[in-house]
Amino acid sequence: MFSFFILTFEVFFTPIFPKDLISKNTIDQVFETARVEEVLGDFVNLKKSGTNYKGLSPFSEERTPSFMVSPVKQIWKDFSSGKGGNVVAFLMEHEHFTYPEAIKYLAKKYNIEIEETEQSTEQKQQEDERESMYLVSEFASKYFQNTMLRTDQGKAIGLSYFKERGFTEETINKFQLGYCLDEWDAFTSEAIRKGYKLEFLEKTGLTIVKGEKQFDRFKGRVMFPIHSMSGRVLGFGGRILTNDKKAAKYLNSPESEIYHKSKVLYGIYYAKQAIAKEDNCYMVEGYTDVIQLHQSGIENVVSSSGTSLTSEQIRLINRLTKNITVLFDGDAAGMRASIRGIDLILEQGMNVKVCVFPDGEDPDSFARKNSEAELKEYLEENAKDFIEFKASLLYEDAKNDPVKRASLIQDMVSSISKIPNQIQQEVYIQECSRIMDISESVLFNTLSQILAKEGKASGISPKKSKPLEVIREPQAEKFKVDELFELERKIISLLMLYGTVEEEFEDMVLKENDKGELVMEQEVQKAKVFEKIFLDLQEDEVAFTNEKFRELYVKIIAMLNEGGEVDFEKFVNNLNPELSSEVTTLLMEEEQYSLHDWERNNIMVKNKNTTIARLVNETILALRRFLISQKIDELSRKIKDATAEEDSKESMQDIMDYLSLKKLLSNKLNRVM
């Protein structure tokens, strides 16, 4: 029946594989082996619900389940946030893995050996070197933990220090804190004895090599492993516990192939889920600040590890949220030194707030002295917008000195110039004008000059700049449904859910009666759902207007035309993330009813399987009716614009014909015209 339909499965089902070194065979094996209910069960408490599983959304705060997992279709859907997809999509959303990281995570979970595509000798050597450095770092992390927990020196010095800081055993284990013995080469000797090469011990910076001698870099220090966003150990921070004035209090791993200070944030691995969920990230200065806040219930917190904040670090946060709250110690000098980081955050188009702790307090000490509720309340009540913070920090010194005050205003406008959004710029100019008691026109002129020097267009004319007027908000328009969008979406849904089901369809066919008049007569035809939809749309020469639905329609028809049932797993896995999410939503939409257990409350949900033919007919008729209405509107406009009377009469006759057809369709649909 569809021999003329030349689209093939292979043409439209090109799998989306990353430009990575993981082979297609490995990716296929991962998808075939991984079970969505098993993987998601590690992150969400799932309970059986018929053939599916349900649980509380991991992406939002809720008390009733809106998260559904389908083992049959191997997909999941979170109805509270709208997110959904396959097992890889979940890991990318929840764990913020990249595609390759998600595949590797699943391969490790199911003991699948990762095959790599053909690499050059140089590529293989580089990849082997990086992996060796990761392995050395993982070993070092476990060694330092065991040393602290199982040796007399480790317990007496390292463990005692962390206990004094108020860290619980659970926190110590979670952050993998440890201790390096106060001996010259205890760690290095043990690593070499275990088969780790000195070359990689040196490249990771764990061992310092001088001629024939080797020394432990972190000798006599408590250890803070630094993880990547996916959880791999990249490097370490070590704190000395003696009063040796010649030694640095904190020592970090040196730059290496796997550790770049400017691209890493301490605590990001433990904070990423909370940052995305809370839609805010707290930025602190040190390791213990992160750990103490985390232990106190503030988990969306990271640190730049004592280094100046960089653009790469801000972009890491930008993947999770647009909002950053910088937490400062109650030390004015330290705040002034760190204020440059705020401008960097603004340049990335992010929203910045600042919270300052009382004099003599830092996040670590303040969290220890206050309950979780008191801490959260303080952060909420004392977080200021960056412009207000800058003014309050510097105004006291400048208020009686015109030169300093002018410099402060210039500095504030300079910060505003970093913001890429022009509307935000204007709003902040207004705020600056109010705080500093200076005219907006002067500030707009200054902003334009700064932007001109940097070669940026301000979009604001210095002379014509006016304050934003407060305009009364018009009455909200009534919500208008996009009927065409809904109809196209419905057709895709019917194809996926019932495409291969064979039904008897009642059709209205135009026929000539005995008097030679054209009338609509009912006719019954037997066909599969996808055949009925395809032929009707072909007959009406209908093309989908929505790009996503158009692409899905072509893919689904091509697959159904080849025969057999739709393989939902392969279908979802071979789509790009946007289409995958849309398909998951459509496939799981009916499952949403089972979340509410409506039948127990005597609310009966209509079973679509009993009315498939009717649903298909009504949808096609509704689409035809909509398109006819559009045609009538188009002809009505044509009449208004028509110059010749003949053209007007012709269009009027067309409208009458279309109205007659619309009436027939409306009667069939039992709708009022």
Kindly state whether residue 658 falls inside one of the protein's structural domains.
no
Same domain, 237 and 276: no
Residue partners of 467: CB distance under 8 A and separation at least 6: 430, 440
Same domain, 134 and 253: yes
Same domain, 237 and 153: yes
Q: Which of 70-74, 460-464, 596-600, 665-669 has the highest mean pLDDT?
A: 70-74
Which tens digits make up the pLDDT trace of 447-477?
998 888 877 655 554 444 445 455 555 554 5
Which pLDDT score, from 0 to 100, does residue 531 have?
A: 83
Same domain, 39 and 173: no
Kindly state whether residue 81 falls inside one of the protein's structural domains.
yes
Which of 2-16, 86-100, 219-233, 299-313 bottoms out in mean pLDDT, i.e. has the lowest?
2-16
Kindly state whether residue 378 falls inside one of the protein's structural domains.
yes
pLDDT band at 256 (very low <50, low <70, confident <90, very high): very high
Q: Can you give the CATH number for the domain in which 440 is found?
A: 3.40.1360.10
User: Is residue 547 predicted with pLDDT exceeding 90?
Assistant: no
Which pLDDT score, from 0 to 100, does residue 16 have?
A: 40
Which pLDDT score, from 0 to 100, does residue 673 have?
A: 39
Q: Which helix (DSSP H) or strand (DSSP E) does residue 235 occupy?
A: strand 233-240
User: Is residue 67 predicted with pLDDT exceeding 50?
Assistant: yes
Kindly state whether residue 562 falls inside one of the protein's structural domains.
yes
How far apart are alpha carbons 400 and 96 in whole angstroms? 50
User: Is residue 53 predicted with pLDDT exceeding 50?
Assistant: yes
Q: Tell me the mean pLDDT in the region 533-547.
A: 81
DSSP state of 427: H
Question: Between 466 and 40, whose confidence is greater?
Answer: 40
Coil/strand/helix, residue 573 = helix
Same domain, 277 and 400: yes
Which pLDDT score, from 0 to 100, does residue 665 have?
A: 56
Question: Between 273 and 379, whose confidence is greater?
Answer: 379
Q: Tell me the mean pLDDT in the region 49-59.
A: 87
pLDDT band at 657 (very low <50, low <70, confident <90, very high): low
Which tens digits make up the pLDDT trace of 384-397?
988 888 877 766 66
Kindly state whether residue 462 falls inside one of the protein's structural domains.
no
Which of 69-73, 126-130, 432-436 bottoms out in mean pLDDT, i.e. has the lowest?
126-130
How far apart are alpha carbons 329 and 344 in whole angstroms? 20
Same domain, 102 and 145: no
Cβ proximity of 273 and 94 under 8 Å: yes
Kindly state whether residue 416 falls inside one of the protein's structural domains.
yes
Among 431, 453, 475, give the residue marking a domain's end: 453
The percentage of residues in the chain with a pLDDT greater than 70, rounded to a whole number, is 78
Q: What is the number of structural domains in the chain?
A: 4
Which pLDDT score, from 0 to 100, does residue 605 have?
A: 44
Which of 166-175, 262-271, 338-347, 462-471 bottoms out in mean pLDDT, i.e. has the lowest?
462-471
Which pLDDT score, from 0 to 100, does residue 207 have?
A: 97
Same domain, 340 and 405: yes
Instruction: Write the DSSP string, 54-76.
Output: EE--SSS--SS--EEEETTTTEE
pTM for the full predicted model: 0.65
Same domain, 315 and 445: yes
Q: Tell me the mean pLDDT in the region 137-142.
A: 97
Q: Tell me the mean pLDDT in the region 661-668.
A: 60
- Annotate 607-617 with b (16+ C-beta within 10 A) or e (fewer): eeeeebbebbb
Kindly state whether residue 502 falls inside one of the protein's structural domains.
yes
Q: Can you give the CATH number for the domain in which 158 is found?
A: 3.90.980.10
Q: Which of 295-304, 399-408, 485-494, 620-629 has the highest mean pLDDT?
A: 295-304
Q: What is the mean pLDDT of the chain?
A: 81
Q: Tell me the mean pLDDT in the region 657-664.
A: 63
Which of 166-180, 232-246, 630-644 bottoms out in mean pLDDT, i.e. has the lowest?
630-644
**CA contacts within 13 A on the Cβ side of 133:** 23
User: Is residue 87 predicted with pLDDT exceeding 50?
Assistant: yes
CA angle 567, 569, 572 (to 5 degrees): 105
Which pLDDT score, from 0 to 100, does residue 570 have?
A: 76
Kindly state whether residue 137 falls inside one of the protein's structural domains.
yes
Q: Tell me the mean pLDDT in the region 586-608.
A: 54
Q: Can you give the CATH number for the domain in which 66 is found?
A: 3.90.580.10
Among 625, 643, 664, give the residue marking a domain's end: 625
Same domain, 255 and 318: no
User: Is residue 672 predicted with pLDDT exceeding 70?
Assistant: no
Which pLDDT score, from 0 to 100, does residue 649 have?
A: 63
Same domain, 182 and 46: no
Instruction: Write the DSSP string, 286-345.
Output: SHHHHHHHHHTT--SEEE-TTSPP-HHHHHHHHTT-SEEEEEEEE-HHHHHHHTHHHHHH
φ/ψ of residue 287, rounded to 5: -60, -50
pLDDT band at 552 (very low <50, low <70, confident <90, very high): confident
Same domain, 97 and 129: no
Two structure tokens written together for 205: 């910076």
User: Is residue 187 exposed (0-12), middle (13-18) or buried (19+ Cβ within 10 Å)?
Assistant: buried
Q: Tell me the mean pLDDT in the region 484-502.
A: 85
| Domain encompassing residue 61 | 9-109
User: Is residue 357 predicted with pLDDT exceeding 80?
Assistant: yes
Among 453, 474, 507, give the residue marking a domain's end: 453
Which pLDDT score, from 0 to 100, does residue 402 have?
A: 84
Same domain, 571 and 435: no
Which pLDDT score, from 0 to 100, does residue 73 have?
A: 82
Round the CA-based radius of gyration of the chain to a whole number and report it: 33
